[in-house]
Structures are given as C-alpha cells and as structure tokens.
Amino acid sequence: MLRLLFLLVFNLLFFQPVAILPAQTGPGVTARNGMVVSAHPDASRAGVEILRKGGNAVDAAVAVQFALAVTFPVAGNIGGGGFMVYRQKDGKVSTLDYREKAPAAASATMYQDSAGNVVPGLSMNGHLAAGVPGSVDGMAEAHRKFGRLPWKDLVQPAIDLARHGVVLTQKEASGLNNNKENFTRYNTHLPYLVREQTWQKGDTLRHPALAATLERIRDRGREGFYAGETADMIVREMKTGNGIISHEDLKNYHSVWREPVTGQYRDYRVISMPPPSSGGVALLQLLTIIKPFDLSKSGWNTATTVHVMAEAERRVYADRAKHLGDPDFHRVPLAGLLSPDYLMSRMGSIDTGRATPSAAVQAGEFALRESDQTTHFSIVDRAGNAVSITTTLNGGYGAKVVVREAGFLLNNEMDDFSVKPGAPNMYGLVGGAANAIAPGKRMLSSMTPSILEKKGRLYMVVGTPGGSTIITSVFQTILNVVEHGMTMQEAVAAKRFHHQWLPDQILAENDALTPAVSAALEAKGHKIVYTPAIGRVDAILIRKKRKLEGGADPRGDDTAAGY
C-alpha cells in the first residue's frame, strides 16, 4: 500500500513532460550477416573478416582482442584481462572470467607505509601495480570451448598489423604524447612508444617486439605467453623493476567459467557478468529499483528521470562497496542483493523531492573499483551467436610499463583492490574487506558486458569502458533504447550522467543537462560536476527482420563494421 501511494505521489507531483532529445539522430551502421563494434576501425575490420571466412562470434572475438592489443594500446591488451558474456544461437549462455589475479607475493598492506598510510601512486604506476595477466588464457579457453576456425588464423591479423604498423588517429597520437613522461619515468628502458619528436596524426606505429610475442602465441597457444620465452621476459622485467609476478604465478593462472547473473526488466531478459565483476549485479539492481517508475513518461534526462536514476545508483554503489568481491575468497550474498523485496525496500527510501545525502545511505543488510581506458567490443555472427567482451589494462596504458623484450604493456589492476579499507581508488570508488588484497585473488571490477533478450530472442549486445561509470553507462544505454525509443546509435551517442555514492555528486557530461534541469536538480539537493565525456559504449541492436544495427560511440575512434 505504501509503495502504491509513493508511486502515485511521484507521478502526480513530479512528472515533467519536458522532452529533451539527444543530439545525434538516426540509426547506425546496419548489416544482415554479422556485426563487430569495437574501439578501433582496424580491429573491427579484423573481426568482420573472420566472420566472412566462416568464423563464429567467438572466433571474431579472439581476433578483435589481439588486434586491439596492437591498434589500441591505451586499453587493448595481452597484458591485462577481462570478462566475456556469450549467448549461443540456441539461447544457451556462458560467462568467462579472465580477470587478472594478485601475485602469490601480494599482501593486504603492500601499498601502505609503516604507519599504515596509503603510498600515493604505488598501486597505480610501475611494476608493483601489475596483476597476473589473463587475456591470453581467456582467449585460448574461449576458443577451446567454442571456436571454429584454427587458432593461428585468429591471431595472424594482429601479427600483420603489428608488423606493418598502424596509422595513428589524433586521439591515439595525443595519448602517446601525453604519456611520454610516464613511459620514461616508470620503465627501466626507453620503450618504443616514446620518440624524440611528438607523434602526429597519420604517423605509422610499428610493434616489432609485440609481433614476435604474438607469433609465439600463434604457434604455442596459451603456452606461448605463460611459459617459455615470453614468460622469461615477463619475469626478467619484474626483477628489473621490483615487481613480484613470478613464473609460478604465470603457470598457475587460469580463467574461470562462471554462472551468469540474469534478471528481467519489463519484456527483456538481461544476461550479465557475475562477481568478481560488480557490473552485472549492480545493473540488475538498478533496473529492478527503477522498474516501478515510468521513465518513458518523465522523459530523457529530465530532472525527474535523472533524480530517480541517481538515487538508485547511490544505493547500489553503497552495496557494491560492502558486499562485492572475488567469490572464490568472499561469500557474495547474490540472492539477497538481487531479492525484489530487498530492492523495493531500497526504493522505498527514495524521496522524489529531495536528494538523499550519501552519508545517510549505507549498504543494505539482509540475511543469510576501474578506468576510463578499458575497452569493450560487441559481436553478432550470421547464425545469431553473440559475444559481449570488456577488457582492460585498468588505467590508460596500465602501469605505463612495457615488457622490454616482449613489446606489450602491463596492467595496473592491483589498484582495483581496496588497498586500504575505506580509501578510494583512482576512480574514487571505496571498498572494504570483501575486496582486500590476497594472493591469487581477483580484484573487484565494474565491467558490465551484457546481452539482452526480448521474448526469447537476441535483442541487444552492450558494454563500455569507463571505470566506475561503466555500470551506469550500460544502464543508461539500455534505458535509452527500451524506455526512450532511441536507435542503437542514438543511445550510445546520447549524453550521460553518473552517481556512485561517494563522492556525493552527479557527474554529468557537458550539455547532458539543460540549465533548467540542472537548477531543478540542485534545488533537490544534488551537487553536479561536469566532465567532457563518460564511457565509450559499443553495442548492437537486433532490429526487425534480423537486421543488425551497430552503435559505435562518437566519443572515440570506435567503429561499427558489418557485412
């Protein structure tokens, strides 16, 4: 009864019929036989060529993962990790966790000084910031279980790109130039990403050492990275820079198949990644909390809609901080977190006329942290198999460390642990004991690769980079389509906003909110901070007659390619 009264008051008093439309209109690239959307045009083309040759979505995903390590070094990788959500054409779903792990020599206080204070930057830059990479093992495992074409055919496109070179875009040239000092400071050698003159748009960047590493992976599969010559190179690099990854750490790394988290939002079944990603749980929580509100009626990015979504996000991120971590080390209360009764109780504390101070919002009780420079890609093949993969080095260019003889960058994923309970990571995310550092443990992530079904049929493949904003960017993109009637391209291009509990503020893209909406939100007690860009969503929508629409985020060089 109270819930019905609450919703009645909301719709009568706070409905705002003002329509705000996203700047970009119209559909994105369309195709019938297959679609790849990724952060770089060369990587998208590599994936489509694999589909043309008869490869399935997983085959194309392997090719794209390795191609991004060459074409998009700020986040594409073989020295990082990620998550894969896979839906087969018959509706069977699988999720693969190839998240990095803490080395065996890691400890809970390794980034604190003798007084227990966090040492600034120690978990973010340099050799000690690196977790044990998972990307190569993940791709090998995905191919072993679901691949169709020979492994060597999937790695070869990346080798060709590394040997022949990649023409830099303006964004890529600027990224290398802006990190020249970091590359020089955190390496014991001058890496090939640095040169005396500045990089310019149109310059060709070649990766000879990385090409040789990829050839070893092509020829020996997983063992071409975790054993033999490449493993020796990694361990030598660790010893040179006082890192702690060992031969045993590399040998013992294995990706893990996990049960996906699933839920229902109106007519849509949502399939996403379980812990150690917080993304799937948080996405399902958000969709459940806002389900009773008529957001299509209140409108896109109106004060009413933004307020309700921000209040939901505030509560979900409080839960994230306390309850989520590596399920192999911490009992994650999934049933409680996703219980409709629990989530309705969280919704019931939302005041539609006033922002709830984050200091007054704690993680719920019931019985019983990531970078702007992650990258995501979505793939659908001719048969209707779909892959959603988010992969990362964490911060831009990871730990800024290039393995000298092997030509690839190491991640700085150790910063995604709670380096000290209550201390924020580089994205302001606060964590607790559930995400404390421990040997062999996977750090908590915000990555949210997801797939939606409508009436039992494949409907959407979606995901994004963006650190702590990943969850809310996926959340908004889904709502842009299913509540606000946008095309896939409009949905990924639309301006975004974000709330993560702490700090207590709405982070909004420039021009995401009109002056009137901003004033209305501030009158409710919200603090608004503006930023140039949030996330880089790459997604695919299945339209009528099985036409595939690729939505490539205009915030980057992202490209949809189909055939």
* Catalytic site positions: 374
Please, are residues 10 and 352 in contact by the beta-carbon 8 Å criterion? yes
- Write out the two tokens for 427: 């994205």
Q: Residue 29's beta-bridge partner residues?
A: 550
Q: What are phi and psi of 525, to 5 degrees?
A: 105, 5
Please report how many Cα atoms fall inside a 13 Å half-sphere around the Cα of residue 258, on the Cβ side. Answer: 25
Strand order of the β-sheet with 450-454 is: 29-31, 548-552, 538-542, 457-462, 450-454, 268-272, 261-265
Please, are residues 137 and 100 in contact by the beta-carbon 8 Å criterion? no
Q: Which helix (H) or strand (E) holds 305?
A: helix 303-323
Q: What is the CA radius of gyration of the chain?
A: 22
- Write out the two tokens for 350: 């939302």
Closest CA to 358 of 504, 523, 497: 504
The CB density around residue 267, as the number of other CB atoms within 10 Å, is 11
Cα 455 versus chain centre, distance: 27
First to last CA, the chain: 53
Q: Residue 375's beta-bridge partner residues?
A: 391
Taking the C-alpha atoms of residue 255 and residue 448, their distance in angstroms, rounded to an integer, is 17
Closest CA to 497 of 485, 487, 510: 510
Q: Peptide bond preceding 27: is omega within 30 degrees of 0, i.e. cis?
A: no
Please report how many Cα atoms fall inside a 13 Å half-sphere around the Cα of residue 552, on the Cβ side. Answer: 21
- Write out the two tokens for 180: 């020249």
Taking the C-alpha atoms of residue 397 and residue 26, their distance in angstroms, rounded to an integer, is 34
Mention every residue, 6+ apart, whose C-beta is less than 8 A from residue 174: none
3-state SS of 167-210 is ECCHHHHHHHHHCHHHHHHHCCCCCCCCCCCCCCCCCEECCHHH
Taking the C-alpha atoms of residue 165 and residue 102, their distance in angstroms, rounded to an integer, is 33
